């Protein structure tokens, strides 16, 4: 049974009998991070939803240190390769069965670029990531606003065991939209992410969990560093 650890902001560590995978490892410079890069166990892969610094984070460093494979959209994967990483490039709608599990990229409504000095490098479309291992599927929605095709993604790729849903507003969905996103996706359990890292995204995750419960769903609030099996 895979174990999910929420490391703060949007970072998720998934440990299974097959391997360890980390998603959006923004640790250094993250005031809510439960881990620093040196605390992360050996990794097989680094999965990136999009190119913003609070999601790429320590991904390149961790990939190089572990000889782990970066999986991301073509533009972002190619950039990581230029920085010395091994990478697999994919694009929206594509899936691949890899040595560390099945990865599928799906659409997210956001933007995606990486800042180098005073320049912004386009990093392809932002995505959500469906990661399946040991017969279980985790859906990391990335940074997204609410959109109706979340229902199609949930139906087409279900059953989804756990979905990580941004709730912090300002840059992504707020709480009420995230509750609706939870209903559309139809995951067995939802976990709030992307909140309380910076002042613009401060909110109360228990409000989200209570509203999900009132709507008939199940939400688990993980504090940074806390884990759950799924």
Please tell me the distance from the alpha carbon of residue 109 to that of residue 149, in angstroms, as a whole number. Answer: 11
Burial of residue 10 (CB within 10 Å: 0-12, 13-18, 19+) is buried
Dist CA 127 CA 157 (whole Å): 15
Cα distance between residue 230 and residue 227, in whole Å: 10
Extract the runs of DSSP E, i.e. beta strands, from the chain: 3-6, 12-15, 20-23, 45-47, 69-73, 86-90, 95-98, 101-107, 113-116, 119-122, 127-133, 136-140, 162-166, 189-193, 227-229
Burial of 221 (0-12, 13-18, 19+ CB in 10 A): middle
Residue 224: name the closest of 187, 188, 181, 194 by CA.
194
DSSP class of residue 39?
Answer: G
Residues 6 or more apart in contact with residue 37 via CB below 8 angstroms: 25, 27, 28, 58, 61, 62, 65
Segment 103-140, tens digit of pLDDT? 999 999 999 999 989 999 999 999 999 999 999 999 99
CATH classification for the domain delimited by 3-225, as one of 3.40.33.10, 3.30.360.10, 3.60.15.10, 3.40.50.1100: 3.60.15.10
Annotated domain spans of the chain: 3-225
pLDDT tens for 130-176 read: 999 999 999 999 999 999 999 999 999 999 999 999 999 999 999 99
Kindly provide the b/e burial profile for residues 149-177, where b requires at least 16 CB atoms within 10 angstroms of the residue's own CB: ebeebbeebeebbbbbbbbbbebbbbbeb
What pLDDT score does 178 carry?
99
Question: Which residues, listed in sequence order, are joined to residue 145 by a DSSP beta bridge?
Answer: none
Look up tokens 């320590």; give the residue.
58
At residue 49 the predicted structure's pLDDT band, cuts being 50, 70 and 90, is very high
- Cβ(181)–Cβ(145) below 8 Å: no
Is the distance from CB of 86 to CB of 69 less than 8 angstroms?
Answer: yes
- Give me the pLDDT at residue 220, please: 98
């Amino acid at each position: 049974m895979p174990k999910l650890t929420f490391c703060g902001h949007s970072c998720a560590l998934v440990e299974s009998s097959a391997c360890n995978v980390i998603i959006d490892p923004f640790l250094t410079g993250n005031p809510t991070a439960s881990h620093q890069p040196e605390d992360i166990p050996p990794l097989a892969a680094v999965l990136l939803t999009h190119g913003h610094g609070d999601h790429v984070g320590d991904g390149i460093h961790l990939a190089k240190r572990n000889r782990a494979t970066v999986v991301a959209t073509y533009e972002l994967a190619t950039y990581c390769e230029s920085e010395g990483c091994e990478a697999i490039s994919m694009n929206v709608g594509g899936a691949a069965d890899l040595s560390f599990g099945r990865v599928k990229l799906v659409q997210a409504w956001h933007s995606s670029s990486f800042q180098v000095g005073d320049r912004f490098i386009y990093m392809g479309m932002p995505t959500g990531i469906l990661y399946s291992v040991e017969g279980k599927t985790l859906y990391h929605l990335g940074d997204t606003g609410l959109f109706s095709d979340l229902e199609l993604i949930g139906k087409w790729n279900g059953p989804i065991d756990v979905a990580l849903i941004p709730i912090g507003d300002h840059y992504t969905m707020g709480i009420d939209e995230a509750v609706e996103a939870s209903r559309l996706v139809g995951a067995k359990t939802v976990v709030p992410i992307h909140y309380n890292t910076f002042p613009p995204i401060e909110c109360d995750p228990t409000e989200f969990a209570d509203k999900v419960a009132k709507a008939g769903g199940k939400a688990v609030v993980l504090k940074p560093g806390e884990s759950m099996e799924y």
